[in-house]
Structures are given as structure tokens and as C-alpha cells.
Structure 1
């Protein structure tokens, strides 16, 4: 039961890290483009599946598509995204220069990070609640002794506290990345 609980909580932390990777910091990161989807032969696919993404300079992303015919669609998808980036298409590759983040924009990103962290903490608490409910059900149905149930609930709380602390560390690290000029 505890391994199942830990697995679910690790998935929540992994989802948080994935979400945070798409939030900009001061330097270029190919994960910024992970949630952008391009129309490719009638289906929407991630940018990483239509070309290679590289970071030639600290504030530049370069996308080299597998097929030159996709350049226009790729450029449109980046323009439509919520990232506010302006790609430049030279007929061979797409270059995206990331502008410097001003202080207001950085604070906005920090708010997004904190909101994502709070969402993860809620998820962790829901997982804890489900585990505690399973113990209560076990007490009622299978006659689990009360002291054993209390011991298991204490273990669940310790695991939850560990993952909440890990969430706080991940958030703090991302905030530091964003606020570092």
C-alpha cells in the first residue's frame, strides 16, 4: 500500500517538474516548446517530432525540421502559442530569440510556478485522503485493529510530508532560476 502511495506521489512530482519545464527562465530550454503542437499531415504532433531542437546560444532556440515543407506550419504554431515568441524562418531552420525577461514578467512566472506547486500539493493531499479512506474501509470491512490503522496513517502522513517538502524544493529551485538575472 505504501509503495502504491509513493508511486502516485512521485507521478505528481514528475508532472510538476514537467509543467515547470515549460515556464521560461532567463535562458533558452528546448522544453519550452514541449506543449506546442504542429499540424503535420492532418494530425497535431509535438514540435520535437517534426524536427530537432537545439540551443546554439543561451537565449536562442533553433528548430531544424525533418521536412522543409513544415516550416510555415511550425512558425504559425509557435506564433499562436501563449509563449509570446517571434520565430524567424530563413527557409532552412527556425530561430527563436528569447527576449530578456523584465521584472514584471519574472514575477508573473513566479506566480505561475507557485500556482503549479499548490496544485501539486492538493494532488498529494488527495492521494493521502484516498489512502486514509482505504485504511478506514479496511478497519470496517476486515477488522483491522485500531492501533495498526493509526500506525499506517502515521506512515502515510510521513510519506506525504516528505513529498510536500520535495514539492517546496522544486518550486524554490524554479523560482531562483526565474529571478536570477
Structure 2
């Protein structure tokens, strides 16, 4: 019998990565994970923001970034300002960096929805690659006479069923996030 658990875990990993990417997409409300992709030039190297500062939600439209070392304040503000995918303009008061979330315009919402669609397609491509890898493995085992014709067909159907399940989960997560983005 063909074991699909390996391919199921690979598909699950692709879905988890997609869900993490969704957290970074801005929806109009402030959320600390929006700044997860920001890297800061500190201590002579580039480091993720969460390793040089604490990010909290001050209110629904404001993030507050408190650096562990006040010397990194300017570098943190510059890193947030220079990230084009965020489009944010932080301000600092000498102790903390405040990142105000400007209201989303209709045009910006459409851009974010398009970005969301691109990320969903990347996930679907990753899922299809895992499916192709599984099909190649089934074919190789069938040619090596390790699997009978019937077992190979059953394995292919099971892989297709997994693919359909994960595709549905990606689609529903993308639609939920798109509804959240488009809500004014």
C-alpha cells in the first residue's frame, strides 16, 4: 500500500506558510504580525524586528514598537518606513516608534486583494508540486512492481482527494481574508 502521510504533511506545511503570509496582509486594523517581515539593520547585521523590539497594539489603528536598545530607534523607524509592501509612515518620540494605520482607500483595498490572490496562487502551485511529486513516486513504485495497478489507482485517487481538500482550505482562507480586507 502507498503511504500518503509524507505528502499530506508537505501540503499541510504549504498551507501553514500561506496562513502565516495572510497574517502579514493589512486589513485596516493594527496587528503586531503585520511587522513580522520587517528586518532592521542593527548591531552590524540585519535582524528581524521582533529580535530588536517589542511590538504591541496601542489601539485599533496604532502599533507601538518599543526597542530593547534605544540606540536602534532610528533604524527601526527607517526599516518600517522603507518596507514598500506596508506603506506605513512611523513616527518616534525618542523612546518608542508609533506606527499609525492610515485608513485603507478603495484603490489600496483592491491592491491588497490582488496581493492576496497572488499569495493564494503561490500556495496552489506549491500544492500542485507536492501532488506531482506524489504521482511520480506512485509511478516509480508501480514500474518497480512494488504497487499493483489497483493500488496505484487507489493511491492516485487518495492524493487527488488530499489535493482537493487542501485547495478548498486555501480558497476558503483566501476568501475570508478578502472579505476582511474589503470590509470598510
TM range (shorter): over 0.9
| Offset from partner CA, 1:38-79 (integer Å, 9 cap, x none) | 012111111111111000100100001111110011111111
Give 5+ residue unaligned stretches, structure 1: none
1:90-114 CA distance string (max 9 Å, x none): 0010001010001111011001111
What are the ranges of 5 or more consecutive residues in structure 2 without an aligned counterpart?
none
Equivalent position to 2:64, from 59, 62, 65: 62
Match of 1:173 in 2: 176
Q: Which residue of 2 aligns with 1:153?
A: 156
**Residues 93-104 of structure 1 correspond to what in structure 2 (within 5 A)?**
93-104=96-107
Counterpart in the other structure of 2:43: 41
SS where residue 142 of structure 1 aligns?
A: coil
CA distances 1:109-133 after superposition (whole Å, capped 9, x unpaired): 0011111111111111110111011
- What residue is the counterpart of 1:138 in the other structure? 141
SS of residue paired to 2:37? coil
- List 4+ stretches of structure 1 deviating above 6 A: none
TM-score (norm 2): 0.96
Q: Deviations over 1:126-171 (max 9, x none)?
A: 1011101100000111342101100010001101100000000110
SS of alignment partner, residue 144 of structure 2: helix
Deviation at 1:88, TM superposition (A): 0.7
Aligned to 1:4, what secondary structure does the other structure show? helix
Q: TM-score w.r.t. structure 1 length?
A: 0.97
Instruction: Indicate yes or no: 2:115 matched with 1:87.
Output: no
Alignment size in residue pairs = 181
Secondary structure (helix, strand or coil) at the match of 1:84 reads coil
| CA–CA distance in structure 2, aligned partners of residues 79 and 161 of structure 1 | 40
